[in-house]
Structure formats: structure tokens, C-alpha cells
A and B are shown apart, each in its own frame.
Chain A
Amino acid sequence: DTGVSQNPRHKITKRGQNVTFRCDPISEHNRLYWYRQTLGQGPEFLTYFQNEAQLEKSRLLSDRFSAERPKGSFSTLEIQRTEQGDSAMYLCASSSSPHTYEQYFGPGTRLTVT
């Protein structure tokens, strides 16, 4: 098992464009989490999935953001009509029930909106 992977690692986009990130969790991990980390801050929770069900969403997740985990394996995070304030590192983590405290993080996708 190679751990949590995220693609792409870096994304530069122009304001107003849509972007999509992918996260592949550790196999057999049924829980998947998305966090956002801006410069000089710790990660902030965005949303989490148990299998394919999105069970919790932060108020940070505006209506321009949508996350999916269609088959309970990989997940995608899409940002529509990107804004400069969306520039951040987007982190994915996974865990397996019942040990939700053991979240393993991926390397992140760094988004720059110009």
C-alpha cells in the first residue's frame, strides 16, 4: 500500500475557471476527508465521506465547491468559478472505522488562482 495519493500535485488556473482534484485513499479505508490549508494556517476541515455517503460538510464549503465519492473509493473535489481566495493547499486524508482518529494524509494539491 502506497498511502493516500492526490492528483495533480500543483494546479495553476485563472480566476473563473473550474478545477477538479482527485484523491485516492488507502485501500479498504472507508472514510475520506478533505481539508484546506492556507499559507500560515493549519488545515481546516471541509467535508468527509463514509463509503460513498457525504456525511458532514463545513460551512467553508460554499456552493461553488462539490465533492463526490461515487463508488466509495476515490474522491473528487471540484471548485467552480475559482476565486483568488481559493488559492490554498487541498489535503485529503483517509481512515478506517472505528479508528477514525488514525487519519492518514496525502501530499496535497496546491492550487494557485491567478
Chain B
Amino acid sequence: AQTVTQSQPEMSVQEAETVTLSCTYDTSESDYYLFWYKQPPSRQMILVIRQEAYKQQNATENRFSVNFQKAAKSFSLKISDSQLGDAAMYFCAFLTNTGNQFYFGTGTSLTVIP
């Protein structure tokens, strides 16, 4: 079975600063995908970034980047130059290469302080 753990229920960051959200996972699979999703209050989940496990290079999307440590089963999200619109619940998620269901962590609520 796959499990995803987010140990930071809440985080805060000053506007324009950098924040890192942590995620660890457990799996016996060798090929899989990892994701960070953003869920603003009362709004739908939006994909922030995706990492394929077979890729050694860390994924980046504009101000968002990940630190993927496969051996340690760690997948953290770094948000640079934080903006007020980044305030949301962030979920780390796992998907096996052949599977269809996401496994989500419990989420980290990010507050951006003006």
C-alpha cells in the first residue's frame, strides 16, 4: 500500500519570501508519479507541479520547484517569491505508473502574510 505523509499542518510565509513544504511517502513501487496540488478555499484542486520518479532532474514550474529525493522517499515543494494568491491548502499526492487512484497526504495550509 502507498502512504503519503505531510507533517506540517500549517505554514506561513511573508510575501516575496520563500517557503518549503515537506512530503514523505512510502511505496514498494519503482515507477510512479508525485504531485503537488493546490486547493484554494472553496475552490477546486489545481495541479501545481508533477515529478516522474524515473527522472533525476527536479521539476520546476515558474516560482514552484521540487526537491525529489527518491532514496529518502521525500518530495518537498519550494515556493519562491511568495504571493498572496499562493495562500491555499497544498496536498502532496502519489500515483503508481499503472494505477488510477491518487493517494493524498493530509495537506498543509499555507498562509501568506502581506
The reply to whether B106 and A105 form a contact with Cβ atoms under 8 Å apart is: no
Taking CB atoms, residues of chain B closer than 8 Å to A108 are 44
Q: A43 on the interface (CB 8 Å rule)?
A: yes
12 A-B residue contacts at CB 8 Å?
A3-B44, A4-B44, A31-B100, A41-B106, A42-B105, A42-B107, A43-B45, A43-B91, A43-B104, A48-B101, A102-B47, A107-B44
Interface residues on chain B, number (Cβ under 8 Å): 21
In the bound complex, what is the Cα–Cα distance between A79 and B100 (angstroms)?
23
Q: B13 on the interface (CB 8 Å rule)?
A: no
In the bound complex, what is the Cα–Cα distance between A111 and B93 (angstroms)?
24
Q: A40 on the interface (CB 8 Å rule)?
A: yes
Q: B4 on the interface (CB 8 Å rule)?
A: yes
In the bound complex, what is the Cα–Cα distance between A112 and B108 (angstroms)?
24
Q: B33 on the interface (CB 8 Å rule)?
A: yes
- Our pick among A41, A43, A56, A107 for the contact of B100 (Cβ within 8 Å) is A56
Q: A17 on the interface (CB 8 Å rule)?
A: no
Interface residues on chain A, number (Cβ under 8 Å): 25
**A40 and B106 in contact (CB under 8 A), knowing A58-B101, A101-B50?**
yes
Min distance, Cβ A114 to any Cβ of chain B, angstroms? 20
Q: A25 on the interface (CB 8 Å rule)?
A: no
A6-36 interface bits toward B, Cβ cutoff 8 Å, 1 = contact, 0 = none? 0000000000000000000000000101010
Taking CB atoms, residues of chain A closer than 8 Å to B106 are 40-42
Those of B30-53 within 8 Å (CB) of chain A: 33, 35, 37, 43-47, 50
